[in-house]
Amino acid sequence: MDKSISDNGETVAKGSICGYDSLDQLLSANLKPELYQEVSRILLGSNCGRPLEHIVIPASAKDLSSKHDFDLQAFSFSADKEQMRKPRVVRVGLIQNSIALPTTAPFLDQTRGIHNKLKPIIEAAGVAGVNILCLQEAWTMPFAFCTREKKWCEFAEPVDGESTKFLQELAKKYNMVIVNPILERDMDHGEVLWNTAVIIGNNGNIIGKHRKNHIPRVGDFNESTYYMEGDTGHPVFETVFGKIAVNICYGRHHPLNWLAFGLNGAEIVFNPSATVGELSEPMWPIEARNAAIANSCFVGSINRVGTEVFPNAFTSGDGKPQHNDFGHFYGSSHFSAPDASCTPSLSRYRDGLLISDMDLNLCRQYKDKWGFRMTARYEVYADLLAKYLKPDFKPQVVSDPMLHKNSS
């Protein structure tokens, strides 16, 4: 664990908040219970008018958490009781992790090290009864896309490659759907690369895949050095546990991307990511929560943790001298619900497993409550977008006729 010295001379974990794993831990430790409850209500919202309840985790999962030093938290989203439908409760998990070995280690050792590191965390999810589990973006490798060096392409693998086979066995063992985000090598189309999420069914079968729709081009940080925008549209995968979709990383900044998954009927949308503090942390708790509200679905947001140091220095278009790391990946994985409630986040610097029970009936209940689908005026926006795509498009701007008159 990285350490640093705080202002008062105490040794604290690097990347932590005043020595605490997360903002929630900081608040709960330093506020009176009644004040903490009120602050928590404002920050995390209320689920059906109540705070989220903690889930009792099996001792075997807790033992794995202690032995392998990963954060383990679990909460429950409820829905109102209906007369015509039974509750549709599904248990969902998110995993965030740092890399297992330095980026200078042999690539095969790095990949196998990450497999070995994640296996007990996945097993903890399995023994805790998780039905659907999602891993972080490009979990099988360091986040090398900031370097623009092509040697990292060696980590790419086919959809049915080593990591998928590894997860297929665990999916079958624990009757668990697993979302496997990888750097894909498309063997059928000239071995080009994609940023892809492979959906593994609870029987160990491959249900399908989705390729990242939006590629960041921020300064000279440009992931299209490795892969381009995906060609799979906005698929929603119907599993035995519910309808899920995957909005990979940078796609969370695009409201229409969320909308498309929602229109296709997603009940849970996962956002496996890799993003650093200086770049995006103020946006992190806002975008996914807003997407859950606007699209009447649950959202699972995952971010890797740690600072990954590369052998060759690079720049990031931020005006700073070249450096050997992209910044601190701040973890903080969390769930958001359609009623605007959300869970506390996992740690900013530790590996972690976040578990949530969610009654999927809440999705329809909030569609009915707010009527967004009926009031959305899609035809108006479809007309605007059709016009916008034409080269002779002119913005609909009405100017004050006095604005451009010369004053006399």
Share of the chain above pLDDT 90, in %: 81
Tell me the average pLDDT across 205-219. 94
**157 classed as catalytic:** no
Distances in Å between the Cα of 1 and the Cα atoms of 63, 132, 199, 306 are: 20, 29, 32, 9
Q: Residue 400 and residue 396: Cα distance in Å, rounded?
A: 13
137 is catalytic: yes
Give the Cα-Cα-Cα angle 191, 107, 227 (nearest 5 degrees): 35
Mean pLDDT within 88-100: 98
Q: Is residue 96 part of a domain?
A: yes
What pLDDT is recorded for position 16? 58
Full strand arrangement of the beta sheet holding 206-211: 53-54, 71-77, 352-359, 89-96, 132-134, 177-186, 192-200, 206-211
What is the arithmetic mean of pLDDT over 235-242? Answer: 98
In the chain, what percentage of residues exceed pLDDT 70? 90
Judge whether 310 and 325 are in contact, CB under 8 Å. Answer: yes
* 3, pLDDT greater than 60: no
Q: If pLDDT is split at 50, 70 and 90, which confidence band does 190 have? A: very high
Which residue is catalytic, options 117, 209, 212, 243?
A: 212
The answer as to whether 40 is a domain residue is: no
> Does the pLDDT of residue 291 top 90, yes or no?
yes
Q: Write down the pLDDT at residue 25.
A: 72
Going by pLDDT thresholds of 50, 70 and 90, the confidence category of residue 386 is: very high
**Which of 237, 238, 276 minimizes the C-alpha distance to 247?**
237
Bridge partners, residue 276, by sequence? 329
Confidence at 384, pLDDT banded by 50, 70, 90: very high
Q: Average pLDDT, whole number, for the chain?
A: 92
Q: Which of 330, 331, 374 is nearest to 354 (CA)?
A: 331
Residue 297 falls within a domain, yes or no?
A: yes
Both tokens of residue 52?
A: 């989220």
pLDDT band at 21 (very low <50, low <70, confident <90, very high): confident
If pLDDT is split at 50, 70 and 90, which confidence band does 29 have? confident
Q: Which residue has the tokens 């894909």?
A: 184
* pLDDT tops 80 at residue 269: yes
Is a pLDDT exceeding 80 seen at residue 268? yes
* Separation between Cα atoms, residue 315 and residue 53, nearest integer Å: 44
| Model pLDDT, residue 380 | 98
Give the chain's domain count: 1
End-to-end CA distance of the chain: 71
Q: Is 75 helix (H, G, I), strand (E, B) or coil?
A: strand
CB neighbour class for 336 (10 Å; exposed up to 12, middle 13-18, buried from 19)? buried
Residue-level pLDDT at 221: 79
Could you tell me how many helices (H) and strands (E) the chain has, helices first?
Answer: 11, 19
Residue 317 has pLDDT above 90, yes or no: no
Asked about 249 being catalytic, the answer comes back as yes
Residue 119 has pLDDT above 70, yes or no: yes
Strand ranges, E, within 83-189? 89-96, 132-134, 177-186
Q: Which residue in 249, 297, 342, 363 is the catalytic one?
A: 249
pLDDT at 279: 84
Catalytic option among 117, 137, 267, 342: 137
pLDDT of residue 39 exceeding 70: no
Q: What pLDDT is recorded for position 7?
A: 33
CATH code of the domain containing 132: 3.60.110.10
Q: 205 lies in a domain? A: yes
Domain assignment of residue 137, yes or no: yes
Assess if residue 44 is contained within a domain.
no
pLDDT for 219: 76
pLDDT band at 5 (very low <50, low <70, confident <90, very high): very low
**8 Å CB contact between 303 and 136:** yes
Within a domain: 400: no
Which two three-digit tokens encode residue 126? 């399995």
CA-nearest of 185, 194, 179, 196 to 158 is 185
pLDDT of residue 44: 82
Cα 307 to chain centroid, rounded: 18
Question: Which domain range does residue 341 map to?
Answer: 52-368
Residue at 267 is within a domain? yes
CA 133 – CA 270 distance, rounded (Å): 10
Provide the whole-model pTM: 0.91
